[in-house]
Structure 1
Amino acid sequence: MTRPVPPLDGSVRVWPGFADFHYAANPRGTCAQFFREDTGGIVRVTFEEFARASHRVAHALRADKCLKSGDVVALIALCDTLMYMALMVGMTRAGLIPFPISPRNSPVGIHSMLSKTGCRHLITTQSFLQPLIDACKVEFTTQCYEVTINEIPSFTEVFPLLGKETSSDPFEPFVLGDWNPDWDDPILYLHSSGSTGSPRAIAQTHRTALLWCSLPCVAEGRSYSRNIIWGSMMAPTFHALGVYTHLYSTFVTGFANALFSPQYPAPPIMPTPQNTLEAIKKSGANTAIVVPAFLEACAWVHSREAVDFLAQLEICAFGGGPLSSKVGNTLVEHGVKLNTLYGATEFGTLSSFFDVIPDSVIPGVIPKSPMDWSWVRFSDRLKLRWADQGNGTYELQIMTHDLHRPSVQNLPDLSGYATVGRLDDVLVLASGEKTVPLPMEGHILHNPLVQGALIFGTAREQVGVLVEPKPGYTLDPKDDKAVVEFRNRIWPTVEEANKDAPAFSRIFKEMILVTNPTKPMTRAAKGTVQRNKTLSLYASEINSLYDVVNSSMYGERTDLPSSWTPPVLLAWLQNQAQDIHSTDVKLGPTDDLFHRGFDSLSATFLRNRILGALRSSNHPNARRALAGVTQNMIYAYPTLEQLSQAVAALLMQQAPDDAAVMSPAESIEALVQRYSRNFPKPSILASLAVEGTVVLLTGSTGSLGSYILAELLGDERVRVVYALNRPSKDQSAPVRQKAAFRDKGLPLALLMSEKLVFIDGDASKPNLDIEADIYSKIHSSVTHIIHNAWKVDFNLALSSFETNIRATRGLIDFALTSKYGAQVKLVFVSSITVAQSWDYSNGSFPEDVLQDASYAVGGGYGEGKYVAERVPASETGLKCTTVRIGQICGGVPDGAWASTDWFPILVKSSITLQCLPDSSEDVSWIPMPAATQVMLDVSLAEEIQPIAINAVHPRPAKWRNIMKAISKALGESCGVLPLVPFKEWVQKLERCAGHNTTADDLNRIPALRILPFFQQVASRRAVIGEQGDVAEFTTDKCRAISASLDQLQVLDDGDAEMWVRYWRSKAFI
């Protein structure tokens, strides 16, 4: 027998018309059903009985002569779902516009929504909501907003013969007078959940509602061959999900709704995972439509019986938020046909419901793999536009057209709606990196001790997580011992979440904040945590946590080493470092921590733990040893073995034992010798004809690398560019490259060039760590190598740059063994920091590779660059040129200068310090366009080039003039910034780096993060030009090669204005 369904062509009005259609065509069909505990059986409400109930609602409401057709009537009620359904349809039948509102909203929010929709009438259940209604009355009076408040009809008035009514029972239909609303008039209002802020009213028109009935989520069910009973009892009808599942789904498909049993006159059943699962079982439902919180609940996922039951259902669907991939995959692996409902109040439910059933035969439905449960396929009825955001994401824009209309239209150019996910679903850190918290929160919620988890960190250096323990595990957050114990118990789950997260999104144990049981997380009606409200509730605690963590007074409570001897300290430090690192990678005693994945945050937390241990120790020298745990300590001793010896020496009131350690110059020379042995012989000695220039460019996604890549792609002499970049699990190289081009204003169209080939690899590993066939292709075609990739971190010691040095040697071996062998030209991007200890009484630094390593002693960055210069300068037979580039500054057209560079950091910090550093020396900064052109001129020149050239500005500018120009460009908004001696400026900086440095301090004074760098500048130990002091470098050879460099004009006020304008455009200053 064919199941009658209403036409969706507009000939039948939504809701009352649908109810009347089923009343006439399918009166004995089941509209809703539920299990009655008192009788032990299922009660079925027919379409006939439900339609009559809606007529009774209309009679009851229009008995109030104050109501007239077209009035908006708010519905704030705690009543059974069956009653709520009848109220919604009955209000519409009565010519009213229902506005269902969650009773979890505040009186202020309710008033706001009523006033914005012109709503002056409210029906409610005052006996259950008296405090809220009384508060609303006060708010309405305060705002001078008159609202008539009445009680909803009684359940027995609407359903006098529950489950037993037939056509022979007395019934008086409601007949509405002359009321014919336009298709674009509102049929109801819904409101957003409020999980991102204050809820807002959203109108649904008669046309919108009709078009939404044709969306695949419900319309596909009209052709489904097997009987469906919707298990949607947990969804509140005042929510868009509830409207879909309780009303649209039933009316459009003719399938029954399984509900909780009515409890009138008692309050309705409040859904929990347990009672929802039980109701699905007993009511005869063969689908489950729930929110993720229910599936995440451990009672479901950890109960094999519950999972086995879910596997028997036709479909188990969730909506309202994302589901943890671990939970979803576990359910699917046990046979659950899991599906995602993707939708919003603003545009309806766009996803399919039935495409997860492999054997369903529904026209237009393409079944998907069970493991694709989290993916959504959109219907052909939709008109979609994907707007590239330039960072690997695409904004889904839902366009208005004849077959679908969003309820909210916010596109500037066309009618339609756009959202890139919820704004609070992306945290933008102080570094500019973006963290998506939901997947990590899902992992943490999987822990049986956790009821709620919210990741925070907007505009901070690192993220943290606010955790709400489940009942039975709550604690006093002021009890440090209890907090540490709770952190340790959930730590394995957090570590698991960290494994799938990018490095900058890792959660450190110190950043776990536990909620106070007297301040539970606030939740929306659908069960999801209201992020903004909860974070606002805990703003003080979160700020305090960051202040403590960023203070050098901080030390995580942890087990102390049993003694302070090097062997015991080594074992203790291994445990601490491993705990902080939060990966499966084991840290050995001689491993360089920074090679194994440590970053500045990891180093900070390890240092904090050392400080904490010293403060808690009874050792007589512990307090005095604190001063020796400098900000740079982990960088200075990057292996755990070195660090244990250094800490032990502090307790013995000694300097670290350097007697057996080589001098800095000896360490540099040892690395030069290590990487200059056993070069392979060139594969050819005679010249081969070259079939066009094929360039291997490393580090193309960096700042200089992006400009070099753009020039290579636009150069007709270049046939192919292989862009070799180390792989990242966060974003692919093409995505990173596109973001870099967009940020720097480079033509994105160049990235579509057929000559560009991206390669994920690592030159420090054999065969570039790429697949054999790709390696063979590159190996047999490359004619030029531009080695630009290098870690930029002025805090690191020389040993931490060994991977970069090894990569340089790897590229030399690659070239020598390639098809073109010694014909390959290798251009290495070096730095003038190789001259950190140059004695300027000897004159300008020459354009040559000097053999005396003592001239390079200083920071590890410059020392490493020096080693890399020396290696290819050995007797390799290659045509090698080292290009020492000075400080690169922003150039035309927009002055782009990365805010992570030391000089922009200096400028921003100076605004807070209210002064700029002064110096009588010169600077030889080179604008980016000129630096890029030098690289092209050297790389693509046909004649043999010098072994080294110095690419610095040939016409230095006075530092003092640059500072005056910066002050002028900043303008009055930053105050008048006087110039003070550079040393005095650094002393001001040092005073801000006290024991109580806060996260806000680091944001306003980012120079604190690289304080040792500026201390070097002030003491004139660093390279003179690149770091803001005098620079004297011979440039004759470079000027002869590159006209762009030779013709550079002195930096002036116009350059400073460009830089400041660019930094302001990026909201940096």
Structure 2
Amino acid sequence: MAAPTNFVFPPTDGSIPPSNAADFHLKHNSKHLFAILYDVNDSSQTNITYEQLAHAVHRAAHILNPSGTIPQGTNIGFLVSTHTIEYIPFPISPRTHLPGIAHLLKSTQTSLVVAGGSQTIDATISQLSDNLAEINFSVQFVELPSLGRVLPELGNTEQESEHKPFPPLKAISGDGIINILHSSGSTGMPRSVKFHLEGVFKNIITQPLGWMYAQEGVKVGTMALPTFHAMGIFLQIFIPLYVGYTQVLFAPSHIPVVPTSNLTIEAAAATKCLHMVCVPAFLEMWSQEEAAVAYLRQMKSVVFGGGPLAEAIGNKLSGVHIHSCYGATEFGGINEVSDMDDLSDWSYVKFSSHVDTRFIPQHDEDNSFELVFVVSDDHKPFELNSEIDGKPAYRTKDLVVRHPFKPDLWKFVGRLDDQIILLNGEKTNPGPMEGEIVKCPIVHYAVMFGRERNQTGVLIELEEGANDLCQTKEGRLKAIQEIWPFVERANQTSPTHSRLEKQTIILVDPARPLPRTPKGTIPRSAALKLYASDIEEMYLDLEKDSSTTDGIQPPQSWDSTEDIEAWISRGVQNLLGREFNVTGDLFQQGMDSLTATMLLRMLKSTLHASSDSKVQFAATKINQQTIFGKPTVRQLAQLVFQLAKNGDTTVDPVVEALQSIRAMIEKYDAEWPRQEAREIQPVKKERVVVTGTTGGLGSHLLAQLLENDVVEKVWAMNRKSSKGNREREVASFEDKLLDLNLLKSEKLVFVDTDLEDPKLGLSDETYDEIRREATVIIHNAWQVNFNLSLQSFEPSIRGARNLLDLAFHSTAPSGLPRFAFASSISVAGFAGPGRQLSEVSVTPEMAATSIGYGQSKLVTEKLLESARNSGLQTCTVRLGQLTGDARSGAWTTTDWTVSWLPLDVAAHSVIDTCTTRDKELPPVIHTSHPRPVPWVDIMNAFSASLVPRTNSQLPVVRFGEWNKLVIEAAASFKGSEGDRYKRFPSTKIQSTVDGMVLADDELRSREEVGNVESGGTVRLNTAVAEEFSQVLKTTPELGKEHVQKWTDYWGSKGLFI
């Protein structure tokens, strides 16, 4: 039958809602094909016209509501093998567990259920009554009408049938609910999502996805989609009613057809489909059949959705026009697809121009972003869970990365709730690594884990044909050996902290297969919950793992530092796989947090295995911080020797720290270049080098320098990155709501740098250009890791010295550039709470009580003092605690303590000081708030600002009382250690918090608490800084409006979700 021409498209402005669309087509497109039904039993095809569809809709309405007594707007559940458009349909997946179905019915007050279509559903109905009785909810079940009653003329388009219209429905408002769907319930009870009329049009019907099929007579194979899921509802019902394509479906039969890859491609070929929509599992199966791939190459498009497609599978389908369809029940289908797309970009999506898409940077090594949709005129998500820029938004928790060359294309790399955050704060996106592992022929699925642990692990489910390997220890070892090359490849393409070991591989027991969603994907949380005890046992075994000591003989004598040093050296050699210096910092020779964990395991395992009780006891005295604090083999050997001999160490840590500080100063404070007298010209315009511009303060420094009329050129120096520094800067500006147009300034020069290199990793041309032109150098870049010792910061100190040497070698006509260094309040140490610090030099003795980070800053301050004495104008800028900027409130969501000075004000202070030419550059300034406010005022403001989120005013209590409550709650917490840390994050730094409580108590006992910083940290005086910066001097006190901006920003980042 030839398809009629001149299809009339229904209006998409909401004037013809889906409930009236069949009547529109009855009037305008009655002979057009709505669907083709393919019978898998005899390969016959039956056409369904819009006329037949309209008649069937009205007959179904009469059958289900014969007297019209069911009021319009009643929810009608469907536990069926098809879908009927009437009232407010709520299709429920028959795969949902019975308590879940009962929960959905009661939570939506759906008391009428149309059910039937298969023996399985009939059995479900009979079992459901008990579950409904348990929750005290009653439901009326209505038998699904037979197809003969609804479509008596099925297959005979010439047969005249009586049409008895159902009474017209009342008009529906834009916020009226017209459909309900539900989540899978893979992580708990399924959740209902209500579709309002405005959203159905703006989120589904008018989005570009379906309109690629808007051509006369186009056949689209949608037969593989489940109608009770969003993808089925979108592409089988809502979109074709307005776009007009003819979809191909499986014909109804006594035994419902279960879509398979073979039946689907058979139906598509027989009906000559030009387009098809399917799930990734089908593409995976077709990729293994040459005939299937050859057929797919003839199609104009094959769209997949519902889950990711492994890269290896997509590449095997070379020449097939495959496209990813992205959408969700909560916000619709919102990407664009074109048959003109570059086939090599199949793994990327382009988001619809109809949606307001935002990207929240995750600041990880993948440079990933969380995807967020903000309500706009053209897009109204069905659910909202956040707020961006004062507008309601939906945070998807999906993580994406930008195409390296096509900025409007994005690839999905995982989920925010899948992202693994290790105990040390490092982040791992498991998706890419899992994708590499499943390339192994015997691997079916891989699920990584490691949240709140020191290292990652992976659950691996084998292909069915390889399951026999799981039955014996030898078989499991053989399987891991076969998988290992693929794991190594995953390790090579991932951050070092993400790497997997053989000992962290858990093979899934065939008797306990990983759970599946109806889409065929693995629900990560459910999988990890199923194997929680196995994972816990694996980590316990790692602690005692003797395999870390295989082939590594223990010391011949625990009384010899030489023997202990040789033993540790053998272990380090085994871990790093190369030669190293026993007196050199291991973290500068290739060690990272993961290899530090493995070294710790080796040390503890060997110490535990000793027959000497003192040596065994030594194992209880070392932890991962020991490796960070003693980062050379020689230092570790001396520590172990002391522990094994005395059961403790006798070295005063403050004395030891002071010695290290002085030695580091002496190493780098030497041979400053001599300055020859030359004529100096006044500075007319500033040319500024600034390092570390992608962080909080650095971004504001860069933005303000680019806005400043006094500045004519800015070199933005950042370490080399595979993602590109411009891209990283854009992400940072977006996150902090800074003006992106500034990054287009002709003033700006991005420079990739390696500060450890004597010439900073720059070309001769760039190095000489900066020597000739720079008038100011602002050194803001610094490694941030509060676990590391001073020695491990030596590369940062060396980088500062290299920058100072650059300044000394300047040939600029204006003379040597001014040099400002972003130091820290932590140089003052933690001894003697309640102190005040003027803008003067501090002593190494003060820094000896600080952490390695603060000590490294002190060493660099001393280098600046020495350089100043040799003729360079230097300024140490000691930063106090910094908040979000005064405009947006954007500050880090991971800092646990309140900060005081807005970032933009701090940046102003630095720039004002460096560019004030009528005064000599001061040796030290403090960027801290000049007018501190009582802690209790800020806490009361927080309490008030959180009322809309907590529905109550949180009480303000003393710091010690709060700490006690947290400790008690954490101790009684019944969940896993990882969940405990997530619920009570301050317990990860409990010793630090306890120290702050002691300081607070001491100050209260001295009745000084009202005049010092909270927790007893040093207060920074700002008299000199105020002389140079009017912005700092006049910055208003922190108040309710600041706190409100902070909490609003944190809310937009999901901190309270």
**TM-score, with structure 2 as normaliser:** 0.71
Q: Distance in 2 between matches of 1:867 and 1:145?
A: 71
Q: Distance in 2 between matches of 1:236 and 1:705?
A: 50
Question: Structure 1 residue aligned with 2:95, among 90, 93, 104?
Answer: 104
Is 1:235 the equivalent of 2:228?
no
Q: Distance in 1 between matches of 2:600 and 2:279?
A: 43
Once the two structures are superposed, residues 604-627 of structure 1 have per-residue CA deviations (whole angstroms, 9 ceiling, x without a partner) of 454245434544678987624414
Once the two structures are superposed, residues 796-846 of structure 1 have per-residue CA deviations (whole angstroms, 9 ceiling, x without a partner) of 23331221122112212322344418521223344576687999xxx9999
Q: Distance in 2 between matches of 1:385 and 1:966?
A: 34
Q: Which runs of 5+ in 1 are unaligned?
A: 79-83, 357-366, 579-585, 906-924, 1020-1024
The CA deviation at 1:181 is: 5.5
Three-state SS of the structure 1 residue aligned to 2:791 is helix
Percent identical: 25
Contact 1:390 1:735 in 2 (8 A): no
Is 1:75 the equivalent of 2:66?
no
Question: Structure 2 residue aligned with 1:827, among 820, 827, 832?
Answer: 820
Structure 2 equivalent of residue 806 of structure 1: 798
Structure 1 equivalent of residue 679 of structure 2: 686
Once the two structures are superposed, residues 1029-1052 of structure 1 have per-residue CA deviations (whole angstroms, 9 ceiling, x without a partner) of 89899x9xx956754899999xxx
Number of residues paired by the alignment?
Answer: 968
Contact 2:719 2:753 in 1 (8 A): yes
Three-state SS of the structure 1 residue aligned to 2:341 is coil
Three-state SS of the structure 1 residue aligned to 2:21 is coil
Is 1:524 the equivalent of 2:517?
yes
C-alpha spacing 1:5/1:407, structure 2 compared with 1 (3 Å) = farther
Once the two structures are superposed, residues 19-59 of structure 1 have per-residue CA deviations (whole angstroms, 9 ceiling, x without a partner) of 89776356xx98233554xx6xx4222336x9659857865
Question: Structure 2 residue aligned with 1:395, among 372, 379, 388?
Answer: 372
Contact 1:77 1:125 in 2 (8 A): yes
Is 1:289 the equivalent of 2:277?
yes
Structure 2 equivalent of residue 916 of structure 1: none
C-alpha spacing 1:189/1:342, structure 2 compared with 1 (3 Å) = same
**TM-score, with structure 1 as normaliser:** 0.71
C-alpha spacing 1:1058/1:798, structure 2 compared with 1 (3 Å) = farther
| Aligned ranges 1:633-1032 → 2 under 5 Å | 633-639=626-632, 675=668, 685-702=678-695, 705=698, 717-727=710-720, 759-765=751-757, 767-769=759-761, 778-820=770-812, 822-830=815-823, 860-861=852-853, 863-869=855-861, 871=863, 873=866, 878-883=871-876, 885=878, 888=881, 935-936=910-911, 938-942=913-917, 945=920, 948-949=923-924, 951=926, 973=955, 1000=980, 1004=984, 1006=986, 1009=989, 1011=991
C-alpha spacing 1:311/1:976, structure 2 compared with 1 (3 Å) = same
Three-state SS of the structure 1 residue aligned to 2:587 is coil
Question: Structure 2 residue aligned with 1:14, among 21, 31, 56?
Answer: 21
Q: Distance in 1 between matches of 2:371 and 2:473?
A: 44
Once the two structures are superposed, residues 696-744 of structure 1 have per-residue CA deviations (whole angstroms, 9 ceiling, x without a partner) of 222345555566567656765444444433355679577668758977x
Q: Distance in 2 between matches of 1:189 and 1:854?
A: 65
Contact 1:447 1:490 in 2 (8 A): yes
Three-state SS of the structure 2 residue aligned to 1:765 is coil
Code of the aligned partner of 1:268? V
Three-state SS of the structure 2 residue aligned to 1:74 is strand
Code of the aligned partner of 1:342? Y
Three-state SS of the structure 1 residue aligned to 2:396 is coil
The CA deviation at 1:866 is: 4.9
Q: Distance in 2 between matches of 1:147 and 1:713?
A: 67
Code of the aligned partner of 1:349? G
C-alpha spacing 1:1007/1:587, structure 2 compared with 1 (3 Å) = farther
| Aligned ranges 1:290-309 → 2 under 5 Å | 290-295=278-283, 297=284, 299-300=285-286, 307=293
Q: Indicate the RMSD between aligned Cα atoms, in angstroms.
A: 6.3
Contact 1:699 1:788 in 2 (8 A): yes
Question: Structure 1 residue aligned with 2:619, among 616, 623, 626?
Answer: 626
Structure 2 equivalent of residue 315 of structure 1: 301
The CA deviation at 1:394 is: 6.4
C-alpha spacing 1:485/1:602, structure 2 compared with 1 (3 Å) = farther
C-alpha spacing 1:350/1:67, structure 2 compared with 1 (3 Å) = farther
Q: Distance in 2 between matches of 1:1012 and 1:214?
A: 55
Code of the aligned partner of 1:344? A
Q: Distance in 1 between matches of 2:63 and 2:341?
A: 52
The CA deviation at 1:4 is: 3.1
Q: Distance in 2 between matches of 1:976 and 1:672?
A: 41
Once the two structures are superposed, residues 396-428 of structure 1 have per-residue CA deviations (whole angstroms, 9 ceiling, x without a partner) of 346456xx8866689999999853424793238
Three-state SS of the structure 2 residue aligned to 1:14 is helix
Once the two structures are superposed, residues 441-495 of structure 1 have per-residue CA deviations (whole angstroms, 9 ceiling, x without a partner) of 5455545555445566778888766655554666999999998887776565556
Code of the aligned partner of 1:1000? R
Question: Structure 2 residue aligned with 1:554, among 519, 523, 543?
Answer: 543
C-alpha spacing 1:954/1:855, structure 2 compared with 1 (3 Å) = same
Structure 1 equivalent of residue 38 of structure 2: 33
C-alpha spacing 1:772/1:470, structure 2 compared with 1 (3 Å) = farther
C-alpha spacing 1:529/1:771, structure 2 compared with 1 (3 Å) = farther
| Aligned ranges 1:182-193 → 2 under 5 Å | 182=171, 189-193=180-184
Contact 1:465 1:513 in 2 (8 A): yes
Code of the aligned partner of 2:168? W
Code of the aligned partner of 2:572? L
Structure 2 equivalent of residue 909 of structure 1: none
Code of the aligned partner of 2:77? A
Code of the aligned partner of 1:292? P
Code of the aligned partner of 1:233? M
The CA deviation at 1:331 is: 3.9
Q: Distance in 2 between matches of 1:44 and 1:740?
A: 57
The CA deviation at 1:108 is: 4.3
Structure 1 equivalent of residue 321 of structure 2: 337
Contact 1:111 1:136 in 2 (8 A): yes
Question: Structure 2 residue aligned with 1:384, among 355, 374, 382?
Answer: 355
Question: Structure 2 residue aligned with 1:176, among 158, 161, 165?
Answer: 165
| Aligned ranges 1:447-458 → 2 under 5 Å | 447-453=440-446
Q: Distance in 2 between matches of 1:414 and 1:135?
A: 49
Three-state SS of the structure 2 residue aligned to 1:885 is strand
Is 1:147 the equivalent of 2:139?
yes
Code of the aligned partner of 2:228? F
Structure 1 equivalent of residue 47 of structure 2: 46
Q: Distance in 2 between matches of 1:939 and 1:390?
A: 31
The CA deviation at 1:1007 is: 6.6
Q: Distance in 1 between matches of 2:1024 and 2:390?
A: 58
Contact 1:35 1:261 in 2 (8 A): yes
The CA deviation at 1:783 is: 0.3
Once the two structures are superposed, residues 509-545 of structure 1 have per-residue CA deviations (whole angstroms, 9 ceiling, x without a partner) of 777666665665444322234456556x549649x84
Q: Distance in 2 between matches of 1:344 and 1:649?
A: 60
Structure 2 equivalent of residue 426 of structure 1: 416
Structure 1 equivalent of residue 403 of structure 2: none
C-alpha spacing 1:823/1:487, structure 2 compared with 1 (3 Å) = same
Structure 1 equivalent of residue 31 of structure 2: 24
